[in-house]
Homo-oligomer: A and B are copies of this chain.
């Protein structure tokens, strides 16, 4: 089967549009692709008619051109006969949005078996059922969300695979957009009856535009875990693989069962096993975003997690020290000699009250130049693997250039530096100043700590 038919289709049929209801999912998908994407789109409905002048064909067999992809949005009990038509029409890709298959148990399981049989018979690359399909710019977007309800992330190097379509839309497309994390493609895999996460992971690990594959998974079926690890080992290499597994508690597992029929048939892969393969496992929704962001920048993994924290707010130094411990990072101990040298670098007003152990709290009396000098000093200490800067631009002596000034210095050393900046529109200039020189900025202090954790997790454990 050929996944290019799904991700870079030239032409597409949307089976199940409505001429009367503009909010009908099929109609929404038709309209989005017709007006916003490159794919040539044909609407399909047995009753015929037209949508704003575009002819509706009764079935895919009636389309007078070659079609790469069919998006199927009809009732579950009608899906298989539509798929049969697709096979006969020589359509190589299919996305089944409709729910009502294995996740319902009983007759749904049978329907899904039949679906798989037809897909295999005609060698159709089938995504779903029970999914939202793919967002693959500039080609195709089968999410049935009207454009005015969405936020699309900027183009970039993160590919997203998810067993929950809602998760992609909410977490990735809105939170990614907010944090300026760029996306190469997103796939809602649903019940993954034919094409599963491993097949897609391999596709995106080979994809030139993709540097990181981020995944939301509810469970592997029997044998899938082994295959997943083999593909990660074979094609991962310099690319990043991030996994977030939901359904870890009894209640979550039960919910996952009725959501995508995910079962823990095979024993759960231990987190340690992921670690050995250099797969970064996120513990929660926030971490997967933090990891995706930090890994979308050019940063080498770190080994021990030995960091320095630079702040102008003492209270946040305390909070950050607690968080560093929570996330398995270590605060480098500075020698008395080093503390003395740092003290000589900073202006008298700050020197009088600064605390120069780790976290380094330069206080609200610090100026840009104090932060610059101390940052440069600690980047030169071998024991420091990475620096976390808590940039509170509240003291009037900190300028709006602080991001650029500090990232200019960070750029001279090969060490990862991450920053926190209060995420307000008026501080965008500081965020841009950091990020232009490869210093990722986090939304919260905790996300900044998670970013450093991500760089530590990225290093395959067996290589240590």
Contacts and interface: CB of A to CB of B under 8 A. Distances in A.
Contact of A162 (B255, B312, B315, B422): B315
Interface string A144-174: 1110111100000000001111110110001
A130 to B, nearest CB: 8
Nearest to A352: B100
A299 interface: no
Interface stretch (A229-237, A377-385, A389-397): A389-397
What is the count of identical protomers in the complex?
2
A314 B255 contact: yes
A74 to B, nearest CB: 12
A363 B149 CA distance: 16
A269 interface: no
B394 A166 contact: yes
A353 interface: yes
A54 interface: no
Nearest to A150: B394
A61 to B, nearest CB: 27
B164 A313 contact: yes
A4 interface: no
A162 B444 CA distance: 19
Contacts of A246: 315, 318-319, 322
A196 to B, nearest CB: 16
A359 B314 CA distance: 42
A171 to B, nearest CB: 9
Most buried by B among A216, A218, A319: A319
A461 to B, nearest CB: 24
Contacts of A313: 164-167, 169-170
A435 interface: no
B444 A285 contact: yes
Contacts of A132: 364
Nearest to A312: B166
A259 B169 contact: no
Interface stretch (A79-87, A205-213, A324-332): A324-332
B319 A285 contact: yes
Nearest to A285: B319
Contact of A314 (B104, B174, B260, B315): B260
Contact of A318 (B25, B130, B218, B444): B218
Contacts of A144: 364, 395-396
Contacts of A424: 151, 174
Interface string A324-343: 11100001000000000000
Contact of A165 (B28, B218, B331, B364): B364
B422 A170 contact: yes
B285 A446 contact: yes
A258 B339 CA distance: 14
Nearest to A426: B148
Contacts of A103: 353, 355
Interface in A388-417: 392-397
B352 A75 contact: yes
A223 interface: no
B446 A318 contact: no
A321 B100 CA distance: 22
Interface string A283-297: 011100000000000
A199 interface: no
B396 A28 contact: yes
A256 interface: yes
A248 B322 contact: yes
A393 B149 contact: yes
Contact of A363 (B99, B286, B324, B393): B99
Interface of A: 23, 25, 28, 75-76, 99-100, 103-104, 130, 132, 144-146, 148-151, 162-167, 169-170, 174, 216, 218, 246-252, 254-256, 258-260, 284-286, 312-319, 321-322, 324-326, 331, 352-353, 355, 357-359, 361, 363-365, 392-397, 422, 424, 426, 444-446
30 contacts: A75-B352, A76-B352, A99-B352, A99-B353, A100-B352, A144-B395, A145-B396, A148-B426, A149-B396, A164-B313, A164-B314, A165-B313, A165-B315, A166-B312, A166-B314, A167-B313, A169-B394, A170-B392, A246-B315, A247-B318, A247-B322, A249-B326, A251-B324, A251-B325, A252-B325, A255-B318, A255-B321, A258-B361, A259-B361, A285-B319
